Amino acid sequence: MQFQFPLQKALQTNQNGINVISASNSRRNCYLDEVIDRMGEASAIAQQLKQIITTASKFYGSDQRIYLKADGKDCLGLLKVGKKNLFYRDYSGSIKELQPLCVLDFYVHESVQRMGVGKELFEEMLKSEQIKPEKLAYDRPSQKLIGFLNKHYNLNQYVPQNNNFVIFNQYFGQGTQPIVQGRSQKYSRNSQIDQLDIMVQQISQNKMNQQQQPQQKLGYQMSPPWAIDNNTNIYNNINTQRTNVYKIN
């Protein structure tokens, strides 16, 4: 994506043309705001999202980091990470509360996709965050990102969650887990899983009630959270999926 100004004006890139911007430490400037806003918008269009996930104003109110790859006046890619509080249900139905670092937005400009830019950005992020790909959670990964993770990092098995975050089985130190097979097994599990959903909603609601008591006195109504954004309090409700283990071929 081309800008009217050399991106060095906005970014301090390393020898690979990659710059990391920390919302809490970096100085905000109008050039950088434009780069973040336009790349965020392009990412939302590429993922066919109804809302833009990444804007400069949202970013600077968070504790997230953005990695940008630049080349002269072109911005080639954006990768945003940040921590989230998530409830995770494993294949056996047990529920865990986790605070993983998450890949929240990832976009490479259409003109340079499938040319290694995504891998370069991702590797830079792994190095800087000192983390392995399996120790990250992925927010509603697109098919392209699923393919990317499978190809480069052999990540391909996970239990789908109601909150649409993907945490691969390797996160828990497991290469593979038994794959639930056959209709009867799947269907017999559903009522137990519905009960678990209700339990999780109740646990979450109790937790919220404790945290939100002063606001409730003022008449606020909160819906039960599944995933809690540490900074912006975005809540994703439980509603759709059943537990199953997915294997991508």
Which residues are part of a known binding site for acetyl-CoA?
106-119, 142-151
Query: Partners of 22 in the beta sheet?
Result: 65
H helices within the chain, ranges in order?
Answer: 30-46, 56-59, 117-129, 143-153, 183-217
Q: Which helix (H) or strand (E) holds 222?
A: none
Residue 114 interacting with ligand ACO (CB under 6 A): yes
Binding mask 70-109 for ligand ACO (x = CB under 6 A): ---------------------------------x-xxxx-
Dihedral pair phi/psi, residue 35, rounded to 5°: -65, -45
Interacting span for ligand ACO (CB under 6 A) from 86-94, 136-144, 211-219, 232-240: 136-144
Residue 144 interacting with ligand ACO (CB under 6 A): yes
Residue 8 interacting with ligand ACO (CB under 6 A): no
Q: How far apart are CA 101 and CA 117, in angstroms?
A: 21
Cβ nearer to ligand ACO, comparing 47 with 177: 47
- Asked if 224 contacts 201 with a C-beta cutoff of 8 angstroms, the reply is yes
The distance of closest approach from Cβ of residue 17 to ligand ACO in the complex, given in angstroms and rounded to an integer, is: 14
The residue number with the shortest CB distance to ligand ACO is: 118
Secondary structure (DSSP) of 103-114: EEEEEE-GGGTT
Residue 148 interacting with ligand ACO (CB under 6 A): yes
The distance of closest approach from Cβ of residue 65 to ligand ACO in the complex, given in angstroms and rounded to an integer, is: 14
Size of site (CB under 6 A) for ligand ACO = 24
Q: Which helix (H) or strand (E) holds 226?
A: none
Residue 160 interacting with ligand ACO (CB under 6 A): no
**Beta-strand pair 235-236/227-228:** antiparallel
Instruction: Scan residues 42-71 and list those touching ligand ACO (CB under 6 A).
Output: 46-47
Residue 164 interacting with ligand ACO (CB under 6 A): no
- Asked if 66 contacts 85 with a C-beta cutoff of 8 angstroms, the reply is no
* Sequence letter at residue 142: S
Instruction: Scan residues 229-248 and list those touching ligand ACO (CB under 6 A).
Output: none
Residue 198: which residues within 8 A CB-CB, separation 6 or more?
none
The distance of closest approach from Cβ of residue 209 to ligand ACO in the complex, given in angstroms and rounded to an integer, is: 31
Q: How far apart are CA 58 and CA 36, in angstroms?
A: 10
Binding residues: 106-119, 142-151
Which residues of the shown chain bind ligand ACO in the complex (CB under 6 A)? 46-47, 103, 105-108, 113-119, 138-142, 144-145, 147-148, 151
